[in-house]
């Protein structure tokens, strides 16, 4: 064992020695490289700095393997290289000082120089020191001199040379402007050609220098030239042709060197130039010029944008989105405005909008093949296609077609997004749902409003068989398809469960569908009776020879009652669907609240309208112009027949365990209150029908007392304390009504009767209380 152990230790020591030798060899190589770097930094190797040679490696004999208690260090610590001798002492530049000295000073200096040349030229002009031709020649010589000096310094002082070159080009631009505008020494065409040459040279120089500042200065000068050289002749074709040429060169430069600021600056200056011309000089004769060149500008920047992204394989950024949206909508806005000036422009606006969508669609098809690499760009361009298709609908179409196309488009986008796993399409469908609903609201307003008091019988709107209701039904069907597809478990939603967007979609969309269906049919019922009311118009002549229009006001009462009946049917159908199929707690609460609302409307507004119809039926004078029949009476029981199921449904809802006992107690009290209100109305109704006058006060007091007694008996039998308490309150209200309201106008006999009856009812109630106490042997709680 000891021999094997010693052998293993010797092998390990041999490896350590080998690694140490290799490490020293590497150290020597590193030292040589450091010396070479030092020579490049100083330009030449200093004489006072002797070459640092690594110390020779002394070979040490390996330690004998026996009796080694701890193994040596396996990795020798790295040998710290000796620093080269310091260069000649210089003042160390701070970052701020370096920025000012090497960057800022030269730019400020060239600006001051150019301004100085301008001041000198102005002084010579003011004092007439030299003639105009000499001034222009000296100006050109100054610019050329700056350029020559810049080119001389390019090899040794590249950044400084670039600034000088930029200043020289600026001098040439503005001297050319002065020669053309101030002194008329050169014609416009020559000035134009010179500017193009200067711009081309600036682009070339920027490429050679690889300095963006040259391109920016050249670009600003190039775009300023057309306006500086403008003579008011309106030769916009030359102007925009020039800008197109400049754009082509600048954008090629920007793309080749990847100078995005140059691209953004070109974009801003181009569209600002176009806007300035459009605001000041656009006339009807410029329609073709406006459309052609705005399209060229739009396509130029659009193509450059896509080339940036596809070739450079960049992701979309917020500035990219902002500029592309601006590019599209500036072009669309000016194109729309230009076409609208034509006499038949309204017929072409939709086609123009569709044309913009087609441009984006072509780009979308190009990107589609590389969609895996550029999904964000593909979605953006596809979204632009959809935006302009959506805009084309209201521009080219009218009325219901807009609503239908938007609803169908929303359903299509949602289907693509959900089934093809493109969440962006699903998200784009949401604003379209809102647009379709808003358009539907507008359609309802414009369609049904015209039939409120419209008397032309030829323009009658057939109930449910009209384009407006068909539109409503189709929109509801589109929304229903979206809701159905959204509930399919085999497709993944882009929203996490129980988040705000998921909850809005899950409950907001069904609610929206219900609103569309309810209001759509509501409007149909309302319009049906509005048309009947309008057709009931007759012209009445008074005994004094005057004329006035007479309408059958009972029709408006029927309208209200039929709307209540329709609402009850709608709520009942919704309740049945909820109970049989959906079985959702939140929808159950909403359905119950809706039922309570419609029951309340019937017991308030509905009963008032019914009393008016009864009075109209019984009033013979009202039959002078219109026929009254039993429909005025029978409508009462149709309403009751539709309200009773809502009451039954709500009682079914309250059996659910989610409702506490207090809620159930409140519901029972409200139920008895509703029954009492209806019975009171029914009592008055039949008293009126039998023409028993001035007796409803007495009858109502007796009815309320009897019902209070019934509640006491019911509360005692079922041991319902809150029911008994409600009965006592009802007794109290009845007595207050009796003494403060009824007895003031009652006859003595009537007072006697009602007092006796109420007394008997109160005594009977007391009797039942005592009997209940004896039978149970307990105190009544």
In tens, the pLDDT along 134-157 reads: 878 888 888 888 888 888 887 777
Residue after which a domain boundary falls, among 713, 741, 773: 713
Confidence of residue 268 (pLDDT cuts 50, 70, 90): confident
In this prediction, residue 594 carries a pLDDT of 93
Q: Does residue 332 sit in the same domain as residue 224?
A: no
Q: Indicate whether 738 belongs to any domain.
A: no
Residue pointed to by tokens 């072409």: 348
Q: Which residue has the higher pLDDT, 734 or 259?
A: 734
Q: Indicate whether 477 belongs to any domain.
A: no
Among the residue ranges 47-61, 148-162, 183-197, 382-396, the one predicted with the least confidence is 47-61
What tokens were used for 29?
A: 């190589």
Q: Which residue has the higher pLDDT, 779 or 214?
A: 214
Q: Does residue 165 sit in the same domain as residue 243?
A: yes
DSSP state of 459: G
Q: Indicate whether 572 belongs to any domain.
A: yes
Q: Give me the helix-helix angle, 132-152 and 105-126, nearest 10°.
A: 160
Q: Does residue 553 sit in the same domain as residue 647?
A: yes
* Tally of CB atoms within 10 A around 35: 16
What tokens were used for 629?
A: 């029949």
In this prediction, residue 68 carries a pLDDT of 44
Q: Indicate whether 757 belongs to any domain.
A: no
Q: Does residue 597 sit in the same domain as residue 676?
A: yes
Report how far residue 460's alpha carbon sits from residue 448's, in angstroms, rounded to the nearest whole number. Answer: 11
In tens, the pLDDT along 647-656 reads: 999 998 888 8
Q: Does residue 124 come out as left (phi exceeding 0), alpha (psi in the -120 to 50 range) or beta?
A: alpha
Q: Does residue 67 sit in the same domain as residue 157?
A: no
How far is CA 27 from its chain centroid?
Answer: 64
Q: What is the mean pLDDT of residues 356-360?
A: 82
Among the residue ranges 234-248, 275-289, 566-580, 728-742, the one predicted with the least confidence is 234-248
What tokens were used for 210?
A: 């690889």
Confidence of residue 646 (pLDDT cuts 50, 70, 90): very high
Q: What is the mean pLDDT of residues 537-566?
A: 88
Q: Does residue 243 sit in the same domain as residue 314?
A: no
Among the residue ranges 146-150, 468-472, 499-503, 768-772, the one predicted with the least confidence is 768-772
Residue pointed to by tokens 């969508």: 357
Q: Does residue 19 sit in the same domain as residue 48?
A: yes
Flag whether pLDDT at 363 surpasses 70. yes
Confidence of residue 17 (pLDDT cuts 50, 70, 90): confident
In this prediction, residue 149 carries a pLDDT of 85
**Mean of per-residue pLDDT scores for the chain:** 78
In this prediction, residue 24 carries a pLDDT of 79
In this prediction, residue 59 carries a pLDDT of 46
In this prediction, residue 606 carries a pLDDT of 94
Residue 691 structural domain:
500-713
Q: Indicate whether 743 belongs to any domain.
A: no
CA angle 87, 92, 97 (to 5 degrees): 145
Q: Which residue has the higher pLDDT, 9 or 429?
A: 429
In tens, the pLDDT along 445-493 reads: 888 877 765 545 456 788 888 889 999 999 999 999 999 999 888 888 8
Q: Indicate whether 766 belongs to any domain.
A: no
In tens, the pLDDT along 43-82 reads: 444 444 444 444 444 444 455 554 444 444 444 444 445 5
Q: How many domains does one find in the chain?
A: 4
In this prediction, residue 54 carries a pLDDT of 47
In tens, the pLDDT along 698-716 reads: 888 889 989 988 998 888 8
How far is CA 150 from its chain centroid?
Answer: 53
Confidence of residue 101 (pLDDT cuts 50, 70, 90): very low
Q: Indicate whether 474 belongs to any domain.
A: no
Q: Does residue 681 sit in the same domain as residue 564?
A: yes
Q: Does residue 616 sit in the same domain as residue 684?
A: yes
Flag whether pLDDT at 274 surpasses 50. yes
In this prediction, residue 78 carries a pLDDT of 46
Flag whether pLDDT at 611 surpasses 90. yes
In this prediction, residue 523 carries a pLDDT of 94
Flag whether pLDDT at 90 surpasses 50. no
Q: Does residue 383 sit in the same domain as residue 237?
A: no
Residue after which a domain boundary falls, among 57, 88, 119: 88
* Tally of CB atoms within 10 A around 630: 8
In this prediction, residue 160 carries a pLDDT of 75
Question: Shortest CA distance to 478 belongs to which of 553, 525, 411?
Answer: 411
In this prediction, residue 286 carries a pLDDT of 83
What tokens were used for 192?
A: 């134009």
Flag whether pLDDT at 614 surpasses 80. yes
Flag whether pLDDT at 42 surpasses 70. no
Report how far residue 144's alpha carbon sits from residue 136's, in angstroms, rounded to the nearest whole number. Answer: 12
Report how far residue 120's alpha carbon sits from residue 126's, in angstroms, rounded to the nearest whole number. Answer: 10
Among the residue ranges 11-20, 40-49, 108-117, 513-522, the one predicted with the least confidence is 40-49
CA angle 205, 208, 211 (to 5 degrees): 75
Q: Which residue has the higher pLDDT, 83 or 626?
A: 626
Q: Does residue 69 sit in the same domain as residue 160?
A: no
Q: What is the mean pLDDT of residues 659-665?
A: 88
Flag whether pLDDT at 435 surpasses 70. yes
Q: Does residue 577 sit in the same domain as residue 698?
A: yes
Report how far residue 550's alpha carbon sits from residue 624's, in angstroms, rounded to the nearest whole number. Answer: 11
Q: Indicate whether 414 belongs to any domain.
A: no
Q: What are phi and psi of 398, to 5 degrees?
A: -140, 160
DSSP state of 157: -
In this prediction, residue 270 carries a pLDDT of 86
Q: What is the mean pLDDT of residues 309-325?
A: 71
Query: Is-contact 509 479, C-beta < 8 A?
Result: yes
In this prediction, residue 592 carries a pLDDT of 92
Count, in order, helices (H) and strands (E) of the chain: 26, 2
Residue after which a domain boundary falls, among 88, 118, 150: 88
Look at residue 399 and give its three-state secondary structure.
coil
């Amino acid at each position: 064992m000891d021999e094997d152990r010693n052998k293993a230790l010797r092998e390990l020591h041999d490896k350590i020695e080998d690694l140490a030798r290799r490490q020293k060899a590497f150290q020597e190589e590193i030292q040589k490289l450091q010396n070479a770097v030092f020579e490049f930094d100083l330009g030449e190797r200093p004489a006072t700095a002797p070459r640092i040679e690594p110390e020779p490696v002394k070979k040490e004999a390996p330690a004998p393997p026996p009796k080694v208690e701890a193994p040596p260090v396996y990795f020798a610590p790295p040998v710290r290289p000796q620093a080269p001798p310091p260069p000649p002492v210089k003042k160390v530049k701070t970052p701020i000082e370096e920025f000012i000295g090497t960057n800022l000073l030269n730019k400020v200096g060239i600006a001051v120089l150019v301004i100085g040349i301008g001041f000198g030229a102005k002084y010579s002009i003011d004092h007439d020191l030299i003639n105009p031709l000499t001034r222009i020649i000296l100006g050109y010589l100054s610019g050329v001199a700056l350029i020559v000096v810049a080119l001389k310094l390019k090899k040794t002082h590249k950044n400084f040379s670039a600034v000088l070159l930029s200043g020289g080009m600026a001098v040439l631009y503005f001297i050319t402007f002065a020669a053309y505008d101030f002194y008329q020494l050169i014609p416009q065409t020559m000035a134009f050609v010179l500017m193009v040459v200067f711009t081309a040279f600036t682009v070339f120089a920027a490429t050679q220098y690889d300095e963006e500042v040259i391109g920016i200065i050249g670009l600003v000068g190039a775009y300023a030239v057309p306006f500086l050289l403008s003579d008011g002749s309106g030769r916009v074709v030359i102007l925009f042709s020039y800008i197109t040429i400049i754009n082509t060169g600048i954008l090629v430069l920007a793309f080749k060197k990847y100078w995005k600021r140059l691209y953004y600056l070109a974009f801003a200056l181009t569209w600002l130039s176009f806007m300035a011309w459009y605001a000041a000089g656009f006339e009807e004769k410029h329609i073709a010029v406006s459309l052609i060149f705005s399209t060229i500008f739009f396509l130029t920047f659009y193509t450059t944008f896509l080339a940036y992204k596809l070739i450079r394989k960049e992701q979309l950024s917020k500035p990219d989105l902002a500029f592309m949206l601006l590019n599209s909508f500036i072009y669309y806005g000016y194109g729309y405005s230009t076409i609208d000036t034509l006499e038949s422009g309204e017929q072409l606006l939709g086609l123009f909008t569709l044309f913009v969508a087609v441009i984006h669609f072509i780009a979308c098809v190009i990107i589609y093949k590389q969609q895996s690499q550029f999904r964000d760009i593909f979605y953006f361009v596809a979204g632009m296609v959809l935006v302009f298709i959506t805009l084309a609908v209201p521009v080219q179409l009218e009325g219901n077609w807009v609503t239908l196309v938007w609803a169908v488009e929303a359903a299509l986008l949602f289907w693509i997004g959900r089934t093809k796993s493109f969440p962006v399409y699903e998200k784009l469908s949401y604003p379209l749902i809102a647009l379709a609903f808003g358009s539907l609201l507008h359609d309802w307003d414009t369609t049904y409003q015209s039939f409120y008091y419209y008397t032309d019988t030829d323009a009658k709107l057939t109930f449910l068989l009209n384009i407006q209701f068909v539109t409503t039904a189709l929109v509801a069907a589109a929304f229903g398809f979206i809701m159905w597809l959204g509930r399919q478990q085999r497709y993944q939603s882009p929203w996490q469960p129980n988040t705000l967007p998921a909850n809005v979609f899950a409950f907001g969309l069904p609610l929206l569908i219900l609103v569309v269906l309810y209001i759509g049919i509501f409007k149909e019922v309302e319009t049906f009776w509005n048309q009947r009311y309008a057709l009931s118009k007759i012209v009445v002549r008074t005994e004094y020879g005057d004329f006035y229009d007479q309408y059958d006001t009972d029709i408006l009462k029927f309208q209200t009652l039929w709307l209540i009946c329709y609402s009850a049917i709608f709520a009942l159908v919704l309740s049945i669907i909820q109970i049989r199929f959906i079985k959702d707690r939140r929808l159950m609460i909403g359905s119950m609240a809706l039922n309570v609302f419609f029951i309340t409307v019937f017991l308030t507004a509905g009963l008032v309208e019914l009393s008016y119809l009864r009075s109209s039926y019984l009033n013979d004078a009202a039959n002078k112009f219109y026929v009254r029949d039993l429909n005025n009476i029978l409508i009462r029981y149709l309403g009751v027949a539709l309200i009773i199921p809502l009451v039954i449904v709500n009682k079914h809802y309250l059996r659910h365990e989610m409702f506490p006992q207090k809620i159930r107690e409140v519901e029972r009290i409200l139920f008895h209150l509703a029954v009492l209100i209806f019975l009171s109305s029914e009592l008055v109704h039949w008293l009126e029908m039998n023409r028993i006058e001035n007796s409803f006060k007495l009858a109502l007091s007796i009815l309320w007392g009897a019902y209070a007694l019934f509640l006491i008996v019911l509360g005692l039998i079922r041991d319902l304390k809150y029911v008994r308490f409600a009965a006592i309150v009802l007794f109290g209200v009845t007595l207050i009504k009796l003494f403060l309201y009824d007895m003031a106008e009652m006859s003595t006999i009537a007072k006697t009767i009602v007092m006796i009856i109420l007394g008997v009812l109160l005594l009977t109630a007391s009797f039942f209380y005592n009997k209940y106490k004896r039978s149970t042997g307990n105190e009544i709680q």
